[in-house]
Homo-oligomer: A and B are copies of this chain.
Amino acid sequence: MATVQAILDATAHILVSDGCEALNTNRVAERAGVSIGSLYQYFPNKGALIGAVRQRHADQTREELITLSAQAAHLPLKQAVPCLIDAVMAAHRIDPQLHQVLEREVPRQFQSWDVTEGEVELRQLLQALLQPHQDQLIVSDLALASLMLVRMVDALVHVPLIQDPLGIDPKAVEQEISTVVLRYLTGQA
């Protein structure tokens, strides 16, 4: 419904512009242009608000990721890897700032179980994508490799999204991610 959308949008906006600490239900309601009563008609408490925003973002991200990574399924490994990295980056580009806040600022009490949930799903997806290329891989354990890759790619993908103090070129980083991954998987780039 329009009201719910407005509330979620307002929440996300405040989260991005002022951070999690500055998020309060009255402010969300005001920015959403609805009364505080309406907010509580749809969300039982502040945590649910953040949870819903996280859910919406996670859903969008997963959808984007799955859609784009599907294209990699039929490519040779050397093109599949950059394609996947692109997918991950595209997913992160949906709302990088919101992603950042959700990832790094949400206090413990609002963090839900499904954070790791999503990662596990991702690792299994990746493992399935790598399976067909078994013969070219030099990694010993595909499950282990998937864990390593998901974590490192996630970390690296954030790099080009922010200004580097030493002036490293974002474009170069983006390409280098594929290099790292391919060298790890195949020993060559």
Contact = CB atoms under 8 A, between A and B. Distances in A.
Interface in A78-99: none
Interface of A: 18-22, 101, 103-109, 116, 120, 123, 141, 143-145, 147-148, 151-152, 154-156, 158-159, 164-166, 168, 172-173, 176-177, 179-180, 183-184, 187-189
Nearest to A101: B108
A5 to B, nearest CB: 24
Given A116-B165, A147-B173, 13 more contacts: A21-B108, A22-B108, A22-B109, A104-B104, A105-B105, A105-B108, A147-B166, A147-B168, A148-B177, A152-B152, A155-B155, A183-B183, A187-B189
A168 B144 CA distance: 6
A144 to B, nearest CB: 6
Given A148-B156, A152-B156, A168-B143, A183 B176 contact: no
Contacts of A144: 168, 172-173, 176
Nearest to A152: B152
Contacts of A189: 187
Nearest to A151: B155
A103 B189 CA distance: 33
A19 B106 CA distance: 10
3 tightest Cβ-Cβ pairs between the two chains A and B: A155-B155, A19-B108, A21-B107
Contacts of A155: 151-152, 154-156
B151 A120 contact: no
